[in-house]
Amino acid sequence: MLKRSLTAAFLLFVGGANLASAADDRQFRLSVPDVLAESGLMKYMLPRFTLKTQVRVELVSPGDAAEVALGDNGTPVFTGMGQTWSIDVLVPEHMGASRFATWISDTTGQSAITGFKIDGSQPFSLPVEEEEIAEDEFYEGDKLRGQQVSRVHCGRCHVTARGDEGLGIGSTPSFFALRSFDDWDVRFSSFYVLKPHGAFTQIEDVTEPFPEDLPSPIAPLELTLDDIDAILAYVASIEPAALGAPLTGQ
């Protein structure tokens, strides 16, 4: 008898909570597209949030009144089902809603995303590291062209791409090794004045012609500033060589 009334009280609480006003900080409405709701991620994730924070979440469809939305707008929080999912806090002053936004980006929220499995595989993962995106997008050059320019002009001496390890000159550092320097960007922006390039490199509108008594010892490397931008964009995108100790010179 006692057990039964406790159950009834619990049901009443859950039902009552759903009807509570949106101003209640202990619960909020989360709008989620059907595909995401049906993936099962929410069923896995939300109880973990509620357990930790005592804040309840009511799922609603896009277009319904809500305090938080998962979808295309806002801050990217995870990827899966062919897209990046972002969180948009529609009512930032709602305590429960803003706690959810914090939670989903911290380690507990992230482990709830990556811990969700369907038949042993992990359908959702974290968005690409922000730092990587930032570094990549910082350079406005054309990455693909940069790869080609690098291979044609720098590949005479440097290994410039994976798969090209057999090319280049062994004693010349690979682009992967150079990329692992903290100041790789400085070095790549000024390589044409750094040894040994000065003797054989011409940058349109930048470098002086080779001195008459000191012509380029090899077929000269002729580039434009656009080419250098493209090389920077390409090198920004490559993975640094994993080196135990930082490289010095070679």
Q: Which residues bind ligand HEC (CB under 6 A)?
A: 153-154, 156-158, 172-173, 178, 187-188, 191, 194-197, 218, 221, 223, 231, 249-250
Q: Is the preceding omega at residue 240 within 30 degrees of 0, hence cis?
A: no
Q: Return the number of the residue (176 or 191) whose C-beta is nearest ligand HEC.
A: 191
* Sign, Cα dihedral of 8, 9, 11, 15: positive
Q: Return the number of the residue (170 or 244) whose C-beta is nearest ligand HEC.
A: 170
Q: Return the number of the residue (58 or 222) whose C-beta is nearest ligand HEC.
A: 222
Q: Nearest to residue 31, comparing CAs of 1, 57, 7? A: 57
User: At closest approach, how far in Å is the CB of 209 from ligand HEC?
Assistant: 18
CB atoms closer than 10 angstroms to residue 177: 17
User: At closest approach, how far in Å is the CB of 176 from ligand HEC?
Assistant: 12
Query: Is the distance from CB of 71 to CB of 86 less than 8 angstroms?
Result: yes
Cα 127 to Cα 192: distance, rounded to the nearest angstrom: 36
User: At closest approach, how far in Å is the CB of 152 from ligand HEC?
Assistant: 9
40 contact partners, CB below 8 Å, separation of at least 6: 116, 118
Query: Is the distance from CB of 232 to CB of 175 less than 8 angstroms?
Result: no
User: At closest approach, how far in Å is the CB of 198 from ligand HEC?
Assistant: 11
Q: Return the number of the residue (44 or 200) whose C-beta is nearest ligand HEC.
A: 200
User: At closest approach, how far in Å is the CB of 144 from ligand HEC?
Assistant: 16
Q: Return the number of the residue (85 or 175) whose C-beta is nearest ligand HEC.
A: 175
Cα 87 to Cα 101: distance, rounded to the nearest angstrom: 7
Q: Return the number of the residue (97 or 223) whose C-beta is nearest ligand HEC.
A: 223
Torsion, Cα of 93, 96, 100, 102 (10° steps): 50
User: At closest approach, how far in Å is the CB of 207 from ligand HEC?
Assistant: 13
